[in-house]
Structure 1
Amino acid sequence: MNTVTLTVNGKPASATIEPRTHLADFLRETQNLTGTHIGCEHGVCGACTLLVDGVPTRSCITYAVACQQAEVTTVEGLDNDDIAAELRTAFSKEHGLQCGYCTPGMIVSARDVVLRMDAPSEHDIRIAMSGNLCRCTGYVGIVRAIQGVITARRARGIAAIPDGNRKILGPAGSGHAVPTTNGAEPRARVSSGPADTQARAQAAKPVSRPDADWKPQTTFTQGFTVAHPVDVVWDFFGNIGEVASCLPGASLAGEPVDGHVEGQIRVKVGPIAAEFQGVADVTRDDATRTGTISGSGKDKRSNSATRGLIGYAVRPGDAPGKTKVDVSIGYTLTGMLAQFGRSGLVQDVAGRLIAAFVQNLEAKLAHREQGQGGEAPPVITELDAGSLVSSVVFGRLKQFFASLFGRR
């Protein structure tokens, strides 16, 4: 595994990846930048084109580790770019897009043409854009859009830059290598002992991204009521191990230390069984009876990763002896399991998962109140998210046909 640090759309981005990981997967799976599309994965179709140090680059055949310390700009990073803005308007006007799958790569390559070519003919533009394939438009609208933007910019006195600001020799992203001298330490060396091994292990640790820069992909709220006093429920939430045991498929790897805990949660989605291993930090405020759980985890088998932030508030319920718990959930899911991450389905599945959590919570609290020895075993130990998703889809289809035929 290698730790790669890049500047992506003006912000630092770092992740620990396999050496064979190409730049497109690095951006999509670790940075959630899905505007970079993957098509042929052979550098032919151009759908994955982005900018590395200002140069259009096929990200599906570029190793992420080869771009260490490079500046990468994806289509998301061109929101405020003047040329890209003009191209988006021109593509819309000239009907230069249909399905849109090739459009991110088209915009990046077209921007380079507008930047470099002074007064290209239609033939020149077609040659320059020949590395970007489109299966819908026939290219006529695309060529007209590019030619129109070039004509408009030259008319405003904006000259072309023939070299396109290319100042680094060699493959895109390769201009950041640090040369070694005769007295420099060689890149590969034999371990001198345990201290050397420990030092290299410390250096291999991934650089964490600042929490302030992370925003959840999807956020929603849930709430539930339990038939127990608010003080009892709040005290129970203070025991991380007990709370984890109420969540089907979750377990801790050890005792929490200063609010920091390691553990895993097993999720079954049809034939796919994933086990997310990760860490979480837990905070509580006794004055307001609120808390947060911030964590991240990864399943090695499916190469899926998730990061989430859960906030909860415990307050008296509508009746004596009852407690209302409000929960807000924000998460980001990447990798193979992201195909099950549509917010509507996730909310329905999360609702049923919370219902199972409440059943286990009620059973444990009742066990305590009755003064029985030992810990109460959970009522529900595992949920199959695949069957949940199927039931959700079936329920929605049933509602659709009921409304279609005027039935309830």
Structure 2
Amino acid sequence: MSMIELSVNQRAVRVSAEPRTNLADFVRDKLDLTGTHLGCEHGVCGACTVLLDGVPARSCITYAVACEGAEVTTIEGLDEDNVTTELRAAFTREHALQCGYCTPGMLVSARDLVLRLPQADERLIRVGLSGNLCRCTGYVGIVRAVQSVIEARRARNIAPEPDGGRKILGPVGSGRSGYDGADRVERIRPATSEPVPPEAVSSVVAIPDFIPATVLDQQFDIAHSPERVFAMFDDIAAVAACVPGASLTAAPKPERVEGELRVRMGPIGVTFSGAARVERSPADMSGRIVGIGNDRRSRSSTQGEIRYSLVPIAQGTRVDLSIGYTLTGMLAQVGRPGLVRDLAARLIAEFAGNLDRRLSGTSPRDTTPAELNGMALVFGLLRARVARWFGRFSSDKGGAP
């Protein structure tokens, strides 16, 4: 086994793997990034295409150990990418996908073409996509989708990038051969330890710092003074009672808080067991909570960090939150940033309501549900979004002549 350190989707990773492990199996089996698909496993079909140092590469014929220090981006890492967002919309509009198996690799290759080609030349697009095979669509819709994105971006005066940002001649990843320790410090953020396996969380003595894969910013207002809210945050048991689905499993101390968070997604029940440490700064009424947890049933692990700051306002206090997390395992496949951001907003709204009632003297047993019902939150989000869509549609019709 070899210890491999690299950056995957802008997150430092340090994981052991056999020297024969290819990059596709590495990201799928070790990191649970299953958006990278395996087809021919001979570098022909293109379903496994990822970005290696910003350049499309066949991950099925690339050894993971050869990517030491590299920056790897899978389709999951392009969730917030502007070009990929435009391509996804164009693929839907032009009916450029059917079964979807080739689509992740197709999007990665198409993104490279959008960045490089000066014009929406059909022949060059077909040549550029010739290494990505599709058994369903006949390619017509795919080519039209790529053409439309290139045309739209050039119409907005977004110039092509010469060679798509390539700086090194030779095969993709060949720049690894000239890579040294000094370059590594600049190319990759310091790697944390290998993700803690689910069975090992209870044995962790010190809660480690980490670099979050995703960071969300949220805030809420509460009609109580900052001093009173900050004092409330010092009562760990009381704060836990305000979090839907949370419970403590041991007497809390600032250096170690042990507990569980129960989540139900329809028929699937998940219980994250973990530990956290609490840091507070009375001088500026801010603090930080760093924790780790796991769900044994799904063998999923998470690391989380919550930074908060209390700001006085006319009506009481504004609580500014920065929530960072890294999720690995089976549940990582449903933890897309957009969905998590919406769910976090709803969860924080419930927490704020419970906190307000607690500060007002209402018993938390009357306000806090037994578990966080994820499906209820999802359906609530869908209702809100449908309402917004209908509102936009009505306003558009109302403004029509």
Q: Give TM-score, length-normalised by structure 1.
A: 0.55
Counterpart residue number, 1:371: none
1:112-160 deviation digits (Å, cap 9, x = unpaired):
xxxxxxxxxxxxxx9xx99964446769x9xxxxxxxxxxx9xxxxxx9
Unmatched segments (≥5 aa) in structure 2: 75-95, 98-102, 111-126, 144-162, 164-168, 178-199
Which amino acid in 2 is paired with 1:224? D
Alignment of 1:364-375 (within 5 A): 364-367=358-361
Does 2:354 correspond to 1:377?
A: no
Question: In 1, Cα distance between the equivalents of 2:106 and 2:339?
Answer: 28
Alignment of 1:5-404 (within 5 A): 5-8=4-7, 13-15=13-15, 24=24, 26-27=26-27, 37-40=36-39, 45-48=45-48, 74=72, 101-103=104-106, 133-135=133-135, 211=210, 214-226=211-223, 228-319=224-315, 322-338=316-332, 340-367=334-361, 376-377=364-365, 379-380=367-368, 381-404=370-393
- Check conservation: 2:37, 2:104, Cα contact below 8 A: no
User: For structure 1, which segment, 21-30 or 375-384, has the greater mean C-alpha deviation from structure 2 after superposition?
Assistant: 21-30
1:90-128 deviation digits (Å, cap 9, x = unpaired):
xxxxxxxx7653248879xxxxxxxxxxxxxxxxxx9xx
- Return the structure number with greater relative CO, CA threshold 8 A, min gap 6: 2
Compute the displacement of 1:290 (Å): 0.6
Q: Helix, strand or coil for the counterpart of 1:302?
A: coil
Question: In 2, Cα distance between the equivalents of 1:341 and 1:6?
Answer: 24
Question: In 2, Cα distance between the equivalents of 1:256 and 1:209?
Answer: 18
Question: In 1, Cα distance between the equivalents of 2:344 and 2:139?
Answer: 45
> CA separation of 1:27/1:72 partners in 2, compared to 1, >3 Å: closer, same or farther?
farther
Which amino acid in 2 is paired with 1:217? T
Q: Helix, strand or coil for the counterpart of 1:235?
A: helix
Equivalent residue pairs, number:
307
Compute the displacement of 1:318 (Å): 1.6
> CA separation of 1:16/1:361 partners in 2, compared to 1, >3 Å: closer, same or farther?
farther
1:282-311 deviation digits (Å, cap 9, x = unpaired):
211001111112233332323444333322
Does 2:366 correspond to 1:405?
A: no
Question: In 1, Cα distance between the equivalents of 2:37 and 2:262?
Answer: 30
Which amino acid in 2 is paired with 1:74? V
Q: Helix, strand or coil for the counterpart of 2:304?
A: strand
User: For structure 1, which segment, 283-292 or 325-334, has the greater mean C-alpha deviation from structure 2 after superposition?
Assistant: 325-334
Unmatched segments (≥5 aa) in structure 1: 77-97, 108-125, 142-152, 154-159, 169-200, 369-374
> CA separation of 1:161/1:404 partners in 2, compared to 1, >3 Å: closer, same or farther?
closer
Question: In 1, Cα distance between the equivalents of 2:12 and 2:226?
Answer: 44
Question: In 2, Cα distance between the equivalents of 1:303 and 1:17?
Answer: 19
- Check conservation: 1:308, 1:329, Cα contact below 8 A: yes
> CA separation of 1:257/1:13 partners in 2, compared to 1, >3 Å: closer, same or farther?
same
- Check conservation: 2:245, 2:263, Cα contact below 8 A: yes
Q: Percent identity?
A: 38
Q: Helix, strand or coil for the counterpart of 2:365?
A: coil
Compute the displacement of 1:366 (Å): 3.5
Compute the displacement of 1:399 (Å): 2.4
- Check conservation: 1:225, 1:317, Cα contact below 8 A: no
Q: Give TM-score, length-normalised by structure 2.
A: 0.56
Which amino acid in 1 is paired with 2:104? Y
Which structure would you say has the larger Rg?
Answer: 1
Counterpart residue number, 1:95: none
Compute the displacement of 1:276 (Å): 1.9
Question: In 2, Cα distance between the equivalents of 1:334 and 1:13?
Answer: 11
- Check conservation: 1:221, 1:326, Cα contact below 8 A: yes
Compute the displacement of 1:341 (Å): 3.6
Counterpart residue number, 2:190: none
Which amino acid in 2 is paired with 1:272? I
Compute the displacement of 1:389 (Å): 0.8
Question: In 1, Cα distance between the equivalents of 2:300 and 2:209?
Answer: 21
- Check conservation: 1:309, 1:331, Cα contact below 8 A: yes
Q: Helix, strand or coil for the counterpart of 2:360?
A: helix
Question: In 2, Cα distance between the equivalents of 1:4 and 1:58?
Answer: 22
Compute the displacement of 1:386 (Å): 0.8
Q: Helix, strand or coil for the counterpart of 1:328?
A: strand
- Check conservation: 1:37, 1:102, Cα contact below 8 A: yes
> CA separation of 1:74/1:283 partners in 2, compared to 1, >3 Å: closer, same or farther?
same
Q: Helix, strand or coil for the counterpart of 2:251?
A: coil
Which amino acid in 2 is paired with 1:362? D
Which amino acid in 1 is paired with 2:13? A
